Amino acid sequence: MSTPVNPPILCLTGLPRSGATLLSQLLAQHPDVHSTGYTSPLCDTLNGLRQHLSHSSHLYTHLDADFNPTYQRLISAYQGFMAGWFSQVDTAWAVDKNNDWLSNLEMLSHLGLNFRMVVMVRELGQIYGSIETQHQKTLLLDPPNQLAGLSRDDRAQALFEPSGPIGSPLAAISALQDVDSRLQQQLYYVVYEHLVQEPVTVIQKLFEWLDLAPAQVTPQNLKIASAPTGNHSHYKTHSAMQKQVQPIQQHVVPGRIQATLRQNFAWYYNTFYPNPEA
């Protein structure tokens, strides 16, 4: 029998530098939402546990002998871990921010959890431009994928390749378009540009989707919680918390790169940016 995690989980995920940190700060202003703003290790831990168990010969001995009860114990163990993770949270929703949730929608559903997922998107050229701008400020540092020595064009290609920092979550968002309608109802997409331009309107609509009462939101008075990331690559892609919602900074993107993005990811633009001027 499924044991729902209490409180329900709001998985906050999406593309890098697309406003997840900002949204987590806005969500924290609702009294019925627990949101720290930090990237959570929960999703990474569950995936690590799955990898570990998948290589356990002892587990397969039990599965071969009595599959159904053993597999149910696995489900209960995952549920128990997640329940323990949120045991000290007493709000209506607990926000768990991690971009890897994008690839784990079906696992969350398989566990019978009470959850919803918010997916952050942003114009792809501006995501590239944001990362490139930050890279130019930190040229003496190189992320783990060793992009510092590449040309701008080659760096853009590496960022958007299927295993790249942008390409990997982008492929996951593409895959979400194919999940069944029941799971589609668990998803809510937030466009970064809309969030920055109309933060109160966007966040109140999100509160309504979460069946929460309207709450006062002050975009000019955001709570900041600073913590070390423990990962030097964050200097390239990390979005720091802000005291207030900042105006959109338009990054200059080479025309060739912008045209290539629109051509290679036409499905994305057709879905989230149908207006060519957006």
Three-state secondary structure call for residue 182: helix
**pLDDT per residue as tens digits for the range 30-69:** 999 999 998 999 999 999 999 999 999 999 999 999 999 9
C-alpha–C-alpha distance, residues 2 and 271, integer Å: 35
pLDDT at 141 (0 to 100): 86
Give the percent of the chain with pLDDT over 90: 77
Is 6 or 262 the better-scoring residue by pLDDT? Answer: 262
Task: Judge residue 20's burial from the number of C-beta atoms within 10 Å of its C-beta, 0-12 exposed, 13-18 middle, 19 or more buried.
Answer: buried
Mean pLDDT score of the chain: 90
Asked if residue 229 has pLDDT above 90, the reply is no
What gap in Å lies between CA 96 and CA 38, rounded to an integer? 8
Q: Is the pLDDT of residue 231 over 70?
A: no
Could you tell me the CA-to-CA distances from 146 to 17, 156, 236 in Å, in that order?
A: 19, 13, 12
Q: Structural domain boundaries of the chain?
A: 9-272
User: Would the pTM of this model clear 0.85, i.e. be above it?
Assistant: yes
Paired strand residues for 96: 11
List the structure tokens of 41.
């290790």
Q: What is the pLDDT of residue 232?
A: 46
**Pick from 1-5, 99-103, 165-169: least confident:** 1-5
- For residue 170, give the nearest of 36, 31, 266 by alpha carbon: 266
pLDDT of residue 278: 47
Question: What is the predicted pLDDT for the residue at 52?
Answer: 96
pLDDT at 1: 44
Q: Does position 228 have pLDDT exceeding 90, yes or no?
A: no
pLDDT digits (tens, 9 = 90+) for 86-98: 999 999 999 999 9
Cβ pair 10, 115 in contact under 8 A: yes
Report the distance separating Cα 265 and Cα 136, nearest Å: 25
Burial class of 186 by CB neighbour count within 10 A (0 to 12, 13 to 18, 19+): middle
Higher per-residue confidence, 220 vs 144: 220
Fold that domain 9-272 belongs to in CATH: Rossmann fold (3.40.50)
**Overall average pLDDT of the 258-273 stretch:** 96
pLDDT tens digit string along 137-179? Answer: 888 888 667 788 888 899 999 999 999 999 999 999 999 999 9
Residue reference for tokens 């871990």: 81
